[in-house]
Amino acid sequence: MGDGYSCCQIDMNLLASRSLVRAVRLADLDVLHPPVAEPSGVGAVPPHSRTPHAIGSTVPGTPSDLGPLSEPAPRSRPSRPGEGGASAGHGRLPGEPPAPELPRLPKGVVQTWPVRFDGTPAGYARVWLGNVLLLLCTLGLAWPWTYRRAQRYLLRHTLVADHRLDYSLPPGALWPRLGITLLLWLGVAAAAAGSAWTGALALTLGGAVWPLLVYLKVQQKVASLTWAGCHFRFDGPWPGLYRAVAASLVLGLLAVWAGVLAWQLALPGGWAWSGLLALMTLLSLPVAAWRFFSYRQPHIRLGPLRLTWKGSRAAMVQLTLNLMAAVLWVGLAGAGVALGALGAWRLLTGEPAAAAAPWLGALLVLALWSVVVPLAEARLLNLVWNKTGNRHLRTRSRVHVPTYVRLYAGNLWRTVFTLGAYWPWAVVSLRALRMRSMAVWSRVDPDVLIAHAGPPVSPERRAGASAAGPASRSDEQPTQPAYVSRLDAASGG
C-alpha cells in the first residue's frame, strides 16, 4: 500500500500547486516509472492511481515496443500543397502510420528553452591553431579530424534547455564525400583545360552527381548532431533532393552548353541564348531554395518528433528581391567610390589608373561580400527557423539583421587585415550572436522528450531498476534529473 498511497499523495500535491508543472506528466513514462503489481484485498490501490501506459496512456507497451514513431494526425485543417511536405503540417508524412501521443504539459503551458553558447575565443583559438598545424603537416589529409575537432568544440559549448549539443560522427565517415568531391572537380578542371567540349561534358557529369553529394552532406550533418545524448535523424530519400533542384540544375547546364556552342561554333545569337538561360537560372533559385527547405526540414527527426516547415514561396522570393536590391545599391556605391579613387590616383601620382584597378576591384568584392553575405545569412536564419516546428515544439530566431551585418563586416575586415589570425574571434562572436537570438517554445518537458528520444531501455535494465528502487533510476538516463528526487522536492520532502 505504500507505493499506492505515495502515488495518490503526489497526485493531490500536483493538483494543489501550479508551480509543479515540470513534474506533471512524468508519471506517464513507463521507462522511468516501471509498473508495479496491483495489490489486492484490504487496502487495494484505487484504479485512478495505477501507473498509466507509456506515451499517451492509450497503447500498451513501452516506447521500444511501439515501432517507428511519428507525430499523430492533427485535428486542424488539412494541409495545402507545398506546406512543409508533411501531412497536415504537423509532422507526419503521407502514408506514415500515426504514433501514440507524446505526453505534453497541461493545456496553455508553454516552456521557453533558452539557447546559450559559452565558448570563448581563446578556447576556440587553441583548437583552430592545432587544426591549422595538423593540416599543414599532413598536406590537408587530416581535414576530417580537424573538422570534427572544430565542430565538437562549437557544439559542446552550445546548450539548449541546459543540455549540451555534441558531434558524434566519426572522422572516417567524412572520407567518401571528401574524396568524391575532390576527384569530381579535379576531373572537371582537367577536362576543361583540355578543350571546351570535354570541360562542358565533365561539368554536366559533375552537375548530375552534385545533388547526391549535397544529400550525403545533409544526412551526415543531421546524423552527427546529438542533444543530451539523443541522436537526430534524417530520413529523406535521395530522389527528393533531385526533384527540389532539378529545374535550376538543368537551366544552369543548358546555359553552359549554349555558351560553349556560341564560343566554339560562333553561332549567331548563341551568347544571347546563354545569357537568357543564365537569367532564368538565377530567377529559379528562390523556388529551388524553397523546395530544398520543404524537403529537408520535414525529414529531420528527434525521437518521436518530426519537424515541419511552413515557409512560403512568396517569403523566399521576397528575400531574394531584398538581396538583389542590396547587391545593386552596394555595387553602385562601391563603383562610385572606386571611380573617384581612380581619378584621385591619377591626379596625385600621374600614373595610369590601371595600376590601382586590381586593388580597387578586390576592395569592391570585399565590400559586396561584407554586406550581402551576412544579410542573406541573417534573413535566411530567421525565415527558416521561424517557420520550423510542430504541435509540440517550435523554434524561434530573432537575429537583428543590422547588428549581424555590422558584426560580420567588422570580423571580415579584421580577418583580412590580420591575414586570417582573427578567424577564431570572428567565428565565436558570430555564433554567440546567432545562439542568443534563438529559442525553442515547447509544450513538452525536456526530460520527457529526452526519455522518449533516447535509446530504448532493455527489459533486463528495467527489471533491475524496479528491483533496486528509486536510487537506480537515474542511471537509466544520465542526462535526466532523478525522477523521484524531483517529485519529493515538489511535494515538500
pLDDT in tens, 416-444: 999 999 999 999 999 999 999 999 999 99
Q: CA-CA distance, 273 to 125, in Å (whole number)?
A: 49
- Calculate the average pLDDT of the chain: 76
Instruction: Give the per-residue SS3 of 251-318.
Output: HHHHHHHHHHHHHHHCCCCHHHHHHHHHHHHHHHHHHHHHHHHHHHHHHEEECCEECEECCCHHHHHH
Q: Does the structure show a pLDDT above 50 at 224?
A: yes
Q: What SS3 state is found at 115?
A: strand
Q: CA-CA distance, 50 to 30, in Å (whole number)?
A: 12
| Element at 397 (helix H, strand E) | strand 393-397
8 Å CB contact between 395 and 412: no
Q: How many helices (H) and strands (E) does the chain have?
A: 14, 11
Q: Does the structure show a pLDDT above 70 at 351?
A: no
Residue 355 pLDDT: 65
Reported as a single tens digit per residue, the pLDDT across 34-76 is 333 333 333 333 333 333 322 222 223 333 332 333 333 333 3
Q: CA-CA distance, 385 to 303, in Å (whole number)?
A: 19
Please say whether the dihedral angle defined by the alpha carbons of residues 321, 327, 329 and 332, taken in this order, is positive or negative: negative
8 Å CB contact between 29 and 23: no
- DSSP assignments along 140-179, one per residue: TTTHHHHHHHHHHHHHHTEEETTEEEEE---GGGGHHHHH
Q: Does the structure show a pLDDT above 70 at 332?
A: yes
Query: Residue 242 — very low, low, confident or very high, per pLDDT cuts 50/70/90?
Result: very high
DSSP 3-state percent helix, strand, coil across the chain (nearest 5)? 60, 10, 30
Q: Does the structure show a pLDDT above 90 at 18?
A: no
Q: Are strands 308-309 and 438-442 parallel, antiparallel or unpaired?
A: unpaired
Residue 105 pLDDT: 86
